[in-house]
Amino acid sequence: MGNARRTARRRRLGSELRALREAASVSTEEAAKAIHGDKTKISRQETGLYRTTRLELEVLLNLYKAKDEKQRQWLIALSAEGNKRNWWHRHSETLPNHFKETLTLESDAASIATFQSRVVPGLLQTQAYATAVLTGNAQPLSEEQLNLSVDIRMSRQSIFLRGNPPQYATVLTEGVVRQQIGGPQVMADQLRHLAALSQTPELAIQVIPYAQRRFTNTGGSFILYSYPAPLDFDVVQVSYLGGDLFLDEAEAVAKYRKAFEELRASALSVPESAELISSIAHEFERE
């Protein structure tokens, strides 16, 4: 079923619709009848497995007597995510759902904040570095899969070329910029690329040096996506070996936002980080 893909927006919309339905004492049967569907459809919508169209949403909000205009507009904005076709749509059948969610989130986020303790973030990688990273995938890729994955990773970086690029902030451990992924020359080129990107107003790249004693335990790398009104929506992405978790609960988001600010506070400033990155690049170039 083409719609049977849970996304952060669908999950949030579904939970809000369920809360409104229960508050209005409307049964799933009554809700299903109103949109000419069945109980299964309502259940799938409320658990984020099925997209709710604008017309269905309007009908349900009226049925639930949702009068708050700000809330209505927020829910309408959440429901709109399924209406646009993305550049990666032609690869949709071959991409895992969790990766499609990543692409969807970053494609229109107003700001992206990420902490990485292993590798340079994909949106900042050079082609050679990306190839080296993906070659080390826990699940080996065929040559065709590797080439496609690298091409997609490079295409993702076009978000910085759009008319309203996202504000992007990343905190890296010093180990990330010293780990010789791909060898000295690949690393030197990657670090020169980071140093150049750090001159871009929309990008903030900071490094936590080895000498920093202050420690914030986040449990691993993560990405925080933020969207302004009318969405007013934040999502945290936490990766693990088998995929990714997407968290949108307010408490979880607040914890990760606080952790990110603590990480930034323990890192070198943007200019100091650029200087460190450039010096390490010089070390690699001499090898």
In the chain the domains, ranked by start, together with CATH numbers, are 8-83 (1.10.260.40), 92-286 (3.30.870)
Angstrom CA distances, 169 to 21, 166, 172, 176, 198, stand at 39, 10, 10, 16, 10
Find all residues with CB under 8 Å of 283, minimum gap 6, and list them.
none
**Cα torsion at 170, 131, 174, 238 (round to 10°)?**
50
Helix (H) or strand (E) holding 226: strand 222-227
In this predicted structure, what is the pLDDT of residue 2? Answer: 42
pTM, entire model: 0.82
CB-based contacts of 207, cutoff 8 Å, min separation 6: 171, 172, 173, 174, 176, 177, 267, 268, 273, 276, 277
Output the tens digit of pLDDT for each of the chain's 287 residues. 445 566 788 888 888 899 999 999 999 999 999 999 898 999 988 888 888 888 899 999 999 999 888 888 888 888 876 445 567 777 777 888 888 889 888 988 899 999 999 999 999 999 999 999 999 877 788 899 899 999 999 999 999 988 889 999 999 999 999 999 999 999 999 999 999 999 999 999 999 999 998 888 888 899 999 988 777 889 999 988 777 899 988 899 999 999 999 999 999 999 999 999 999 999 999 98
Q: Which of 255, 224, 220 is nearest to 240 (CA)?
A: 220
Q: Are 200 and 194 in contact, with CB atoms under 8 Å apart?
A: no
Render the burial of 246-258: b for 16+ CB within 10 Å, e for the rest. Answer: bbbeeeebeebee
Residue of 45, 83, 90 whose CA lies nearest to 64: 45
